Amino acid sequence: MATTADIKNGLCINHNGKLAQIIEFQHVKPGKGPAFVRTKMRQIESGKVLDFTFSAGHKIEVVRIENREYQYLYQEGDSFIFMNNETFEQVAIPASMVDKPDFLMEGMICNILFHAEEEMPLVLELPMHIISEVTYTEPGIKGDTATNSMKPATIATGAEVRVPLFIGIGEVIKIDTRTGVYVERVK
């Protein structure tokens, strides 16, 4: 069992029955009264950020988590199958754990956060950007590049994103997976 003296950024703890990761902390020793540790934590399952204050010397339960790279293979029912490229072990991730399943492409390398003792997947992180081909969009008007107007486009994964008017069918674009926003055209 660890104490508040062991708290550091990135540490994962069991807080009120839920896993939380320390984002930042501050040890405070006021002139009057006992010392305490002020923390900002992110709940792993929900992503909520919480502020919590521990009294100095408070016992905390440290949880060991591991970040591993897995390759996306295919979808089977309501789960997605990923493979570890080193051990070739496959793991099924439920669809509820994937934030934006429309951006998953076969062969894509994703990070999966695992609870190390239980070997249980906790969070799936897509890569920051994906590169995909535009499969359908309305034709743009020649010379209409002065405004920053956007139009809907469908990419090879089936996701719909907003792209500038000059993007046409067959062009390859870069998309931010966190926001689903067009970044740039890829040559």
What number of CA atoms fall less than 13 Å from residue 105's CA on the CB side? 16
Q: What would the mean pLDDT of 19-44 be, rounded to a whole number?
A: 92
Give the tokens for residue 19.
């896993």
Ranges 36-40, 41-45, 71-75, 103-107: which has the least confidence? 41-45
Using alpha carbons, list the distances in angstroms from residue 46 to 23, 42, 50, 94, 135.
15, 8, 11, 15, 34
pLDDT at 110 over 70: yes
Higher per-residue confidence, 142 vs 156: 156
Number of other residues whose CB lies within 10 A of the CB of residue 158: 12
Which three-class secondary structure state does DSSP give residue 97?
A: helix
Confidence of residue 146 (pLDDT cuts 50, 70, 90): low
How high is the pLDDT of residue 76?
A: 92
Q: What would the mean pLDDT of 115-125 be, rounded to a whole number?
A: 86
How high is the pLDDT of residue 144?
A: 62
Ranges 43-57, 142-156, 169-183: which has the least confidence? 142-156
Average pLDDT of the chain? 89
How high is the pLDDT of residue 143?
A: 63
pLDDT tens-digit series, residues 153-172: 999 989 999 998 888 899 99
What's the whole-model pTM score? 0.75
> Which strands make up the sheet holding 172-176, listed edge to edge?
160-164, 150-155, 129-137, 172-176, 181-186
Domains and CATH numbers, the chain: 2-62 (2.30.30.30), 65-125 (2.40.50.140), 130-186 (2.40.50.140)
How high is the pLDDT of residue 90?
A: 93
Confidence of residue 127 (pLDDT cuts 50, 70, 90): very high
